[in-house]
Structure 1
């Protein structure tokens, strides 16, 4: 799987990169068409103004009497009419392109986010969430500038440049030819510096993303940071990253400033020289005053359009870098995909009275980030419907990895897993995971109230069902004592709850889902003795006649399991009941002796 940074910016031109936005623009072709009409009308109205001034100068101020006064009146009336058309069409263009900018940006953000949340955990092993958030915010804002402003400005100024150039030739072929040659000499330095600005723009966005990644990581670990008194260290680290981003941004700004200065000096220098020639032509009688005035206005339009295009080019360069980063992110494909022709689980395949059968056949697996370390090796396991199997072993033995394989967060490199006789790779991810309930070791609490946190287990559950699940998980009592009961906001990541309370919320969530296969990963690890007794009783009821796999370091939790398997270095080394494994005197007996000696009251 390629990472989001795998495509070098230098390998694509701005134009080809921005073409990646076309799929997001196509649905709004009609609005682009209306905006285009308004754009053309506004440009034509702008181009009509110098011609009106020529008429006013040559015919209005060139004579006296009622005829001249009437002509001046008509000319100014026409100018007001042109201004009215210009104002209406410009307002219409601004509204349409602003709407398009906001709409397309919202679509891109939704599309990128929808793509990211479908990625497997492998993606998040190599990508920081802060970097993804930077792309969803900063990068999309740059694209909004291009779609909502820069494209319109570019087209407007291209029309003004072409139209003004044509009218310059109509006014004076000689002067226009000279100015064209001089403007051609201006393009070369603009192009050269434009490429440098684009590279610096990409670097600047990367540095901002790095700073966001650092901030996101630290803000999610504030208790640890403060416990180790690293506040100043982390603040300095973030400041260093921000300063690095600032210095990179300043290099981009200096380059763009130089580009703007060069463009203005060369363009207007060329125009001043040509106008000097025009002034001499008027003095010599080769041009009228009105023609020179018209030429000056059209030359100003052409110069202004060219200067605006250079500004737009700077925005386009930055947006090209942002687009490139977003397209790189969109191009990342999760290695865990739904099958082309998925099989369906029969509606009655799982019954709470019987549970689900589970079969692991010669499983071999290593994490993509650790290809030389085998996490699971030649593991085979058959679990009968309704059976409760406990999985024990030292840290790193592969217990949690086994759960991740069952949920298809990863696919094994060897062997296959069957759920009720169907290879889980033949099921859609939704169908598979909908049949599995899990209480993870690290409890996740969302920034919502207690009711919605538990309802996460089943979105359409009623309030009564949520409360029933909370009672089963021994969570009802402490929730009722919260300031607003089930409507109490639990804080980001559940900071307002104790570890045991967060664990009971997670258990209630899994119980509400009511799955045929239940995975408990240290489900009672964060509970005190009284809470553990309450939850253990609730779990025993929930596990009855349901297929359950339990991971636990505290062996007292698993003594009543139908079967215990002992894992070591990714392999099953022992299988049996608590008593039979103790009698064998193997790995489990060693763990039991050590643990129960340390905690003699745990039996």
Structure 2
């Protein structure tokens, strides 16, 4: 059973070989109960895949609905994140208003400079009437001061909006990650790690660009463009009509091409996520890739994904290029026409050179604003696509939620476990029961071994006990308290689990053991490591308990990684211990030592073991045999052999029929 604690690619990897084919020879496992007993039940991997398919279907349906009409509406989901910081938003608005005002004041200053410094006698008289005691230098110094003030205000505007954008994206990333941790492990069976990480990083970066830059530019541009258009009318309404006539010609391409840009941006982001997922798969399984000399094929797979992303990006770039070419051609042609007509008016004396300069500057602000809005609109549409993808993750519903009024487990917890006629089917296949009327009671401190063929429901017992799923019928209780009435966090704190392939995390040896109980002391960590027979090899590492392991502790052997996982569970010191083939990766000598450690730590706690090695099975207080989702037999090793049922057949297949009662202690 695989329980994922994080988004580490190593914990979500998919092997590069065909999962339907036989595994490589050197990966074959020793003979086990599942290998020797024929059963037609589904393999566990297939069950997990079915379990996650509903999440994939949910995302596909949402994507199909959005294909019908992509707009800016997804960006409205970001508004609550922005409104969390009203002071920063207020300061941004203040400095944005000042920057826009100063930008619109500059053309007026230039008009005075031109008319008063370069104009004729009539212009000089106008300046004298306007500012009778001012020197010529005053106009130039005022213009320089205005420009410096505009630079300062613009810098403050940029600082506050950039800070707001970074803060919003940081909150969004944390919210998405927190939500991902609340989803069932089945979600990650149907959703590749690279896809999730791409949404969590690349898509949020796009949103940061928009919130921290593009939106600011867009708002500033709208304000300055609107102000420039109004002031253009004040300066010369005839020329203004010519500029305003360009509006519909410019807005048409923006609306037509803008939506196509968003659609192609979404395709580009999706194909980039696919390329990231393929790279994650190959690099996570790099040893297997190299062992099977599949480098060339993996290069081809990744290369194809990159080329697909390039083609999607090229469609977006080409569309933006068309839009930019059309808009700028129209704008520049219109501006030249305005300048031509304006030059005629200056020559006729209808307006002064300064007024024409002022009008041209306002026209430039308006026209460049339209061009800037074109670019910004394309970026905003890209961010809308990224927001859609993130909201799809946030819309994936957590199947298990804490009750409104949770009950507390008895303290101290005795560890009595009861399954009362539990029936369960995974949501993807509601008609196929994985467990059927399972009735099982485990006494406090009892050690139970669960055995049975693949698909019998053993791991499902653990998953239901951890409340990763709820049963369709029946109830599960701890010390007579229904676990559905308990907060899942409190429930899981009462359990410690060691999986067959327990994941380790980047960090030190000590950090990985402390994962079981972060507040434990170094002495307790060492004691847990000794109990798991891990202390000696840890001390042989370069920095002992402070040695950095890297991703998935790939520098350690399988047995060493398993012993660290066992130490982690021992340190947790929970009243209920769950072991899923916990000693499968150990050699016989280490297994004996670990078995002794398990005997010590299980004396005062309830222990459930999924095991196929006889040494573990024989030491259990009771063996529960499962087949086709039901408990078919239970008893001690000798009792089950005497009854000659499924368990006895397993022993015959594994060790031969001669003297079954004298089977060896280890495989």
Q: TM-score range by the shorter chain?
A: over 0.9
* Structure with the larger RCO, 1 or 2 (CA within 8 Å, 6+ apart): 2
| Correspondence for 1:21 | 78
Q: Following superposition of structure 1 onto structure 2, how do residues 428-439 of structure 1 map, counting pairs within 5 Å?
A: 428-439=487-498
Residues in 1 aligned to 2:539 and 2:578: alpha-carbon distance in whole angstroms: 27
Name the counterpart of 2:509: 450
- 1:199 equivalent to 2:199? Answer no
User: How many angstroms does 1:35 deviate by?
Assistant: 1.3
SS at match of 1:340: coil
Instruction: Name which of 88, 97, 100 aligns with 1:40.
Output: 97
Once residues 193 and 415 of structure 1 are traced to their aligned partners in structure 2, the CA distance between those partners, rounded to angstroms, is 57
Q: Which residue of 2 aligns with 1:134?
A: 198
Change (3 A) 1:448 1:59: closer
Distance 1:382 1:305 in 2: 74
Give the Å deviation of 1:74.
1.7
- Provide the rounded CA distance (Å) in 2 between the counterparts of 1:485 and 1:190: 62
Q: CA deviation at 1:126?
A: 2.1
CA-to-partner distance for each residue in 1:381-430, whole Å, 9 max, x for gaps?
11111111111112222211211111011222222211111111111111
Cα deviation digits, residues 518-547 of structure 1 (max 9, x gap): 111111111101001100011011111321
Q: Using structure 1 for the length normalisation, give the TM-score.
A: 0.96
Q: Which secondary structure state, in structure 1, belongs to the residue aligned with residue 156 of structure 2?
A: helix
Query: Where do 5+ consecutive residues of structure 2 fail to align?
Result: 1-53
Matches within 5 A, 1:76-87: 76-87=140-151
Q: Is the 8 A contact 1:125 1:369 kept in 2?
A: no
Give how far 1:58 is off.
2.5
How far did residue 181 of structure 1 move?
A: 1.9
Does the 8 A contact of 2:119 with 2:353 survive in 1? Answer: no
The alignment partner of 1:7 has SS state of helix
| Residue correspondence of structure 1 range 105-116 to structure 2 within 5 A | 105-116=169-180
Q: 1:477 aligns with which of 536, 542, 552?
A: 536
State how far apart, in whole Å, the 2-side matches of 1:146 and 1:491 are: 35
SS at match of 1:117: helix
The residue aligned with 1:289 is 353
Alpha-carbon displacement from aligned partner over 1:62-87 (angstroms, at most 9, x marks no partner) = 24699889653121111012112101
Q: How many angstroms does 1:509 deviate by?
A: 0.8
| Preserved CA contact (<8 Å) 2:221 2:373 | yes
SS, match of residue 402 in structure 2: coil
Give the distance between the partners of 1:596 and 1:455, measured in 2 at CA: 40
- Give the deviation of 1:568 after TM superposition: 1.1
Does residue 523 in structure 1 map to residue 582 in structure 2? Answer: yes
Q: Which residue of 1 aligns with 2:417?
A: 358
Question: For 2:438 and 2:91, how far apart are their aligned partners in 1?
Answer: 64
Residue from 546, 549, 561 that aligns with 2:620: 561
The answer (yes or no) to whether the contact 2:448–2:624 under 8 Å persists in 1 is yes
Cα shift readout 1:76-115 (whole Å, capped 9, x = no counterpart) = 1110121121011011111111211222111111111111
Q: Which residue of 1 aligns with 2:608?
A: 549
1:384: which partner in 2?
Answer: 443
Equivalent residues in 2 for 1:192-591, closer than 5 Å: 192-348=256-412, 350=413, 355-591=414-650
Distance 2:500 2:343 in 1: 84
Distance 1:297 1:458 in 2: 67
Deviates more, 1:40-49 or 1:70-79: 70-79
C-alpha distance 366-230 of structure 1, shift in aligned 2 (>3 A): farther
Q: Number of residue pairs matched?
A: 598
Comparing 65-74 with 391-400, greater Cα deviation is found at 65-74
> How far is 1:444 from its partner?
1.1
Contact 2:423 2:433 in 1 (8 A): yes
Question: Which residue in 1 is equivalent to 2:240?
Answer: 176
Distance in 1 of aligned mates of 2:490 and 2:211: 39
Contact between 1:105 and 1:140, CA under 8 Å: does it hold in 2? Answer: yes
CA distance in 1, matches of 2:619, 2:341: 102
Residues 132-185 of structure 1 deviation map (CA, whole Å, 9 limit, x = unaligned) = 110111101101101111111011111110110011100111221222122222
1:5: how far off?
Answer: 4.4
Alpha-carbon separation, structure 1, partners of 2:663 and 2:62:
59
* DSSP 3-state at the match of 1:437: strand
Distance in 2 of aligned mates of 1:323 and 1:12: 15
- Displacement of 1:12 in angstroms is 5.5
Judge conservation of contact 1:59–1:71 (CA < 8 Å) in 2. no
3-state SS of paired residue (1:412): coil
The offset of 1:370, in angstroms, is: 4.3
CA contact (8 A) 2:71 2:259 kept: no
1:416 is paired with a residue of what secondary structure? strand
Helix, strand or coil: the match of 1:333? coil
- Summarize the Cα distance change of 1:485–1:59 in structure 2 as closer, same or farther, 3 Å threshold: closer
Q: Is the 8 A contact 2:72 2:381 kept in 1?
A: no
CA distance in 2, matches of 1:262, 1:85: 36
Which secondary structure does the structure 1 equivalent of 2:182 belong to?
coil
Mapped to 1, the partners of 2:293 and 2:665 lie a distance apart of 36
CA 374–233 in structure 1, closer or farther in 2 if over 3 Å, else same:
farther
Shift of residue 253, structure 1, vs aligned partner = 0.5
- Does the Cα contact within 8 Å between 2:467 and 2:488 map onto a contact in 1? yes
- Give the CA deviation at 1:224: 2.4
What is the CA distance between 1:13 and its match in structure 2? 4.9
Per-residue CA distance 1:27-81 (angstroms, 9 max, x = gap): 1121111111111111111111211222222233224699889653121111012
Q: Distance in 2 between matches of 1:326 and 1:597?
A: 57
**TM-score under structure 2 normalisation?**
0.87
- C-alpha distance after superposition, 1:441-464 (max 9, x if no partner): 112111121111111111110111
**1:11 Cα deviation (Å)?**
4.8
Contact 1:5 1:328 in 2 (8 A): no
- Measure how far apart 1:555 and its partner are: 2.4
Matched, 1:51 2:115: no
Partners in 1 of 2:290 and 2:464 — Cα distance?
A: 35
